[in-house]
């Protein structure tokens, strides 16, 4: 799977995304609880559409200003924000925190990053891909479902020139991250809550199958691990370190 396949993917259906969200929520929580959560989600969407909330979303613009890119959440259109509610809302990782997580990960594991592929599932506008290029990864791959975010990511990758950049083999792929064909090489998988629980379980099942087919070193760096119990249920992943902000799992 590569970027050349982007144009073959269909437009994401808002109605189908909402229906799938509803079916998953109703099956897990019951129809009454799912209806209440849906109303809460839609109310938050309305509040988030006010001018004041939009100004707040520009609060993470320092990285964009420094690097002349567009990765903030403020410029995401209403349709993609609504789709995000049924998949995962777009939120870029803070630059300082990302580097802290990578440095701590490297110190704990002692691995040679040049042997690893960095993969960000739910990569949005590509900020994490750009930040990862400050490290000597073998290559860097992002996967994003929403077309508008993916197109912005490609533009960011094409114009980015970082003074500390060490990896130049970077690509953004448009696709369903739960069905991503993982590289056979050692991999550092980055997650920032890209899916609801049903999607996370599909992802982990896909990763487990990949590891059974091609045993290798795989680490999962999970930022803001709200669904960490899903990784904890895996038979092939073991938690090796973490804080309240992130958790790191390794293939056993």
- Dihedral (C-alpha) 150, 146, 192, 89: value to the nearest 10 degrees? 130
User: Residue 68, by phi and psi: left (phi above 0), alpha (psi -120 to 50) or beta?
Assistant: left
What is the spatial distance between Cα 200 and Cα 224, in angstroms, rounded to a whole number? 14
What CATH number has the domain spanning 95-251? Answer: 3.40.50.150
Given this model, what pLDDT does residue 66 score?
83
Q: Among 175, 230, 173, which residue's Cα sits nearest to residue 207?
A: 230
DSSP β-bridge partners for residue 220: 189, 249
Phi first, then psi, for residue 61 (nearest 5°) are: -85, -5
pTM over 0.75: yes
- Scanning 87-172, the segments in alpha helix (DSSP H) are 95-109, 127-132, 147-159
Q: Among 121, 127, 179, which residue's Cα sits nearest to residue 1?
A: 179
Given this model, what pLDDT does residue 246 score?
96
Q: Among 124, 55, 138, 66, which residue's Cα sits nearest to residue 95?
A: 66
Mean pLDDT (10-residue bins), the chain, 252 residues: 47 71 76 78 68 56 81 65 62 90 95 97 94 97 90 93 93 92 97 88 96 96 95 96 95 88
Three-state DSSP class for residue 197: helix
- Scanning the chain, the segments in alpha helix (DSSP H) are 14-29, 31-48, 51-57, 62-67, 78-86, 95-109, 127-132, 147-159, 197-213, 228-232
The full set of domain ranges for the chain reads 9-86, 95-251
Given this model, what pLDDT does residue 131 score?
96
């Amino acid at each position: 799977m590569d970027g050349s396949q982007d144009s073959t993917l269909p437009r994401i259906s808002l109605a189908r995304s909402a229906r799938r969200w509803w079916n998953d929520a109703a099956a897990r929580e019951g129809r009454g609880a799912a209806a209440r959560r849906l109303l809460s989600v839609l109310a938050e969407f309305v509040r988030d559409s006010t001018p004041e909330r939009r100004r707040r979303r520009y609060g993470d613009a320092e990285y964009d200003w420094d690097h002349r890119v567009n990765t903030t959440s403020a410029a995401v259109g209403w349709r993609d924000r609504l789709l995000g509610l049924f998949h995962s809302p777009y939120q870029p990782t803070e630059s300082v925190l990302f580097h802290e997580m990578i440095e701590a990960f490297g110190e704990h594991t002692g691995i040679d990053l040049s042997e690893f592929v960095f993969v960000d599932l739910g990569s949005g506008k590509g900020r994490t891909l750009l930040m990862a290029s400050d490290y000597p990864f073998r290559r860097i791959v992002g996967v994003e479902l929403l077309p508008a975010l993916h197109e912005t990511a490609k533009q960011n990758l094409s114009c980015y020139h970082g003074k500390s950049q060490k990896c130049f083999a970077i690509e953004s792929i448009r696709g369903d991250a739960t069905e991503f064909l993982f590289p056979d090489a050692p991999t550092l998988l980055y997650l920032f809550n890209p899916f609801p629980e049903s999607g996370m379980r599909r992802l982990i099942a896909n990763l487990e199958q990949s590891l059974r087919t091609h045993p290798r070193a795989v680490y999962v760096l999970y930022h803001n691990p709200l669904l960490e119990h899903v990784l904890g249920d895996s038979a092939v992943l073991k938690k090796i370190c973490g804080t309240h902000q992130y958790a790191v799992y390794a293939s056993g």
